[in-house]
């Protein structure tokens, strides 16, 4: 079943066509990579899919319903969660609170129950605490539950951000350069983790990455973006051989050199 | 959860004890009447500081028009008791509701703004409220609404103060409060976590305004008069100072900030020549050595106490 379908999506900033005629179809359970040189419009695509930007043109459907003109929080509630290229944790809060916040829109108790501590409050809070802890355990962060997020090492902050995104219980997870700033070993571990969470949480994953080894190693399909347009799509092997992709990354071959 | 209930019981227990002691001291005239006035002012200011802290410290929306909401609460309640002869409790509820409704109306358009812009907008709105009141002859214009019954006493202010503190504390420690804190920490991330940021900003603003209305009603019914000069821009700044001094985002900080600054103003009232100097110096020194406020954004706890005395286990940074 098609989970996400975008057709002919474009966005114009002033005179700049940042993304033009972007098409994508993601089937449930797929793991797709979105690559491209710097400034190709990858993050802009993420921002379009998550409602940060409204497309100038085109359609985006998630789970069979249009999500254009929806606010980012509504799109998250529909089941798309994301991480950010530059980590955006709630940096002064504890690790566990970061995750608890992500459960917010699943909470059923109302304001009155919260203030009076009656009704569903205690049960649901206990439930959230339990779920958040379980998630932290999965990501090997349980022993740091009371640590302030900004004091975590970089790699752990990235993991926490993914854990937090998963706490919203999404169907589609968008990862924006999850391996940025990681060394090869950490990247390797991250690859395994992405594969594992996809299986464990029955997720569909779309990821942006610069690190070719990660993309080639983990993704089943790859979409290459350059100057806002899709220049190639296919399996990792096909992409590696594609002359257009090589050109976009390394430049044109100059005859006589 | 047991821990939470235990803490609540301790808090209520201490409050009741404190109330009994102070009330007894007032009844047996150990505390002179002029000082009782100081205590009542402290309680009203705690309500104001705690409610502004919900907006500025917890949700991170810098509002400086709190005196405006206080004025609305004060005037609406005074109209009810003076002109319509209603009971004090009805007047408080009506005053709070009026301030809350105004909070929604003002919050919806202004909370699209951020930082400095929001501060300027709320400052302006606070002044608009005051000047509108100043020009309504029904409520006495510049002279104010006289003959307000003195219904407020220590019991009322203390009770309302505890109610305010419990209300806001419980809110902050719930998922709804976490949503507010998330907005303060990182609005973009909060939205990406499925939090309707506009809704929670307006919610915090409204609740803050409502309690400012309660404080206004209590204040007006203690001073016999509802006068526009009580709700100037300077009043808003006073409340803001308490919140910042205590530590933005810390409820205990707001309480301590309100108590310290109110008592300081009260005791320095006898020395008008040096009052301004001492007050300002204190603030300068505090901001130099503790720019995050007395409590930062943390709450007072026994752990904090043991760390201060050096007896606690030191956390590895």
Residue A53 touches chain B, beta carbons under 8 Å: no
Question: Is residue A44, in this structure, part of any structural domain at all?
Answer: yes
Output the pTM of the full model: 0.90
How confident is the model over A31-55, as pLDDT tens digits?
Answer: 999 998 888 899 999 999 999 999 9
- Helix (H) / strand (E) element for A216: namely helix A212-218
Q: How many domains does chain A have?
A: 2
**Does A30 lie in the same domain as A2?**
yes
Sign of CA pseudo-dihedral A49, A128, A107, B206: negative
Name chain A contacts of B195, Cβ cutoff 8 Å.
73, 101, 104-105
Q: Does A244 touch chain B (CB under 8 A)?
A: no
- Mean pLDDT is lowest, of A210-219, B1-10, B149-158, B174-183, for B1-10
Domain assignment present for residue A84? The answer is no
pLDDT at B7 over 80: yes
Pair (A93, A132) in one structural domain: yes
For residues A66 and A103, state if they share a domain. no
Higher pLDDT, A241 or A250: A241
User: Is A176 found in the same domain as A163?
Assistant: no
- pLDDT of B303 reads 67
Token pair for residue B43? 């309680």
Residue whose entry in the numeric block shows the structure tokens 């319509």: B84
- For residue range B96-154, list pLDDT tens digits in order: 999 999 999 999 999 888 888 999 999 999 999 999 999 998 988 888 899 899 999 99
B69-107 exposure pattern, b = at least 16 Cβ within 10 A, e = fewer: bbbbbbbbbbbbbbeeeeebeebbbbbbebbbbbbeebb
User: Which residue, A167, A184, A201, sits at the end of a domain?
Assistant: A167
Domain coverage including residue A152: 89-167
Q: Which long-range contacts (C-beta less than 8 Å, at least 24 apart) are formed by A226-233?
A: A226/A36, A226/A37, A226/A40, A227/A40, A227/A41, A228/A17, A228/A18, A228/A19, A228/A20, A228/A22, A228/A40, A228/A41, A228/A44, A229/A19, A229/A20, A229/A21, A229/A22, A230/A21, A230/A22, A230/A23
- CA-wise closest residue to B91 among B227, B223, B231, B217: B217
Contact assessment for residue B200 and residue B179, using Cβ atoms and an 8 Å cutoff: yes
Q: What is the per-residue pLDDT across A74-103, written as a single tens digit (0 to 9) for each?
A: 999 999 999 998 899 999 999 999 999 999
Say which DSSP state B153 is in. -
Highest CATH level, class, for B32-301: mainly alpha
Which pair of tokens denotes residue B187?
Answer: 């609005």
A104 in the same domain as A228 = no
Of A149, A167, A185, the position where a domain reaches its end is A167
Domain end residue (candidates: A147, A167, A187): A167
Residues A180 and A224 in one domain: yes
Contacts of B191 in chain A (CB under 8 A): 71-73, 76
Query: Would you tell me which residues 8-37 of chain B have a C-beta closer than 8 angstroms to some C-beta of chain A?
Result: 8
* Residues A95 and A65 both lie in one domain: no
Same domain, A51 and A22: yes
Q: Do B194 and A115 touch (CB under 8 A)?
A: no
**A147 CB within 8 Å of a chain B CB:** no
Residue A224 and residue A123 share a domain: no
Query: Is pLDDT above 70 for B187?
Result: yes
CA distance A238 to A222: 9
Percent share of chain B, pLDDT over 70: 94
- Angle CA A38–A39–A42, to nearest 5: 90
Tokens describing residue A48: 């379009």
pLDDT for residue B311: 46
CA distance B14 to B25: 16
CATH of the domain at A230: 3.40.50.300
**Is B312's pLDDT higher than 60?**
no
- Specify the DSSP class assigned to residue A257: -
Name the pLDDT band for A191 (thresholds 50, 70, 90). Answer: confident
């Amino acid at each position: 079943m098609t989970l996400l379908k975008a057709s002919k999506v474009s966005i114009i900033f002033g005179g700049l066509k940042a993304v033009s005629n972007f098409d994508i179809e993601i089937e449930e359970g797929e793991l797709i990579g979105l690559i491209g040189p710097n400034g190709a419009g990858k993050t802009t695509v993420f921002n379009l899919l998550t409602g940060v930007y409204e497309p100038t043109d085109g359609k985006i459907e998630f789970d069979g319903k249009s999500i254009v003109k929806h606010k980012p929080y509504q799109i998250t509630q529909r089941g798309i969660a994301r991480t950010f290229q530059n980590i955006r944790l709630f940096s002064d809060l504890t690790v566990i609170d970061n995750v608890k916040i992500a459960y917010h829109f699943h909470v059923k108790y109302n304001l009155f129950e919260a203030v009076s501590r009656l009704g569903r409050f205690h049960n649901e809070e206990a439930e959230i605490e339990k779920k958040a802890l379980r998630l932290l355990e999965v990501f090997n962060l349980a022993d740091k539950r009371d640590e302030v997020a900004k004091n975590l090492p970089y790699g752990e902050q990235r993991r926490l951000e993914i854990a937090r995104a998963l706490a919203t219980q999404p169907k589609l997870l968008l990862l924006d350069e999850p391996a940025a700033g990681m060394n090869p070993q950490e990247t390797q571990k991250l690859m395994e983790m992405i594969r594992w969470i996809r299986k464990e949480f029955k997720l569909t994953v779309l990821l942006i990455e610069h690190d070719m080894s990660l993309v080639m190693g983990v993704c089943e399909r790859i979409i290459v973006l350059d100057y806002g347009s899709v220049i190639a799509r296919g399996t990792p092997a096909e992409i590696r051989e594609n002359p257009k992709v090589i050109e976009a990354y390394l430049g044109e071959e100059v005859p006589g050199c | 959860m047991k821990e939470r209930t235990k803490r609540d019981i301790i808090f209520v227990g201490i409050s009741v004890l404190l109330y009994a002691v102070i009330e007894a001291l007032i009844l047996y005239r150990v505390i002179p009447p002029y000082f009782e006035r100081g205590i009542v002012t402290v309680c009203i200011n705690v309500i104001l500081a705690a409610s502004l802290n919900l907006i500025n410290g917890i949700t991170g929306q810098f509002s400086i028009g709190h005196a405006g909401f206080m004025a609305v609460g004060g005037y609406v309640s005074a109209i009810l008791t003076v002109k319509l002869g209603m009971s004090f409790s009805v007047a408080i509820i009506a005053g709070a509701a009026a301030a809350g409704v105004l909070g929604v109306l003002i919050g919806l358009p202004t909370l699209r703004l951020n930082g400095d812009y929001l501060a300027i907008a709320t400052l302006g709105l606070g002044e608009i409220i005051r000047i509108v009141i100043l020009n309504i002859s029904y409520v006495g214009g510049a002279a104010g609404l006289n003959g307000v019954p003195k219904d407020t006493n220590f019991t009322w202010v203390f009770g309302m103060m505890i109610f305010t503190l419990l209300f806001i504390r419980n809110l902050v420690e719930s998922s709804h409060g976490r949503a507010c804190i998330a907005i303060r920490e990182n609005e973009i991330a909060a939205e990406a976590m499925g939090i309707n940021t506009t809704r929670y900003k307006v919610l915090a603003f409204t609740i803050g305004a409502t309690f400012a209305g309660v404080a206004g009603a209590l204040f007006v019914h203690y001073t016999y008069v509802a006068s526009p000069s009580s709700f100037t821009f300077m009043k808003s700044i006073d409340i803001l100072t308490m919140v910042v001094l205590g530590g933005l985002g810390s409820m205990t900080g707001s309480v301590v900030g309100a108590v310290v600054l109110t008592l300081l103003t009260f005791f320095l009232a006898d020395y008008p020549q040096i009052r301004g100097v001492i007050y300002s110096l204190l603030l300068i020194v505090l901001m130099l050595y503790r720019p995050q406020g007395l409590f930062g954004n943390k709450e007072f706890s026994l752990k904090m106490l043991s760390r201060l005395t050096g007896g606690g286990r030191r956390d590895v940074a």
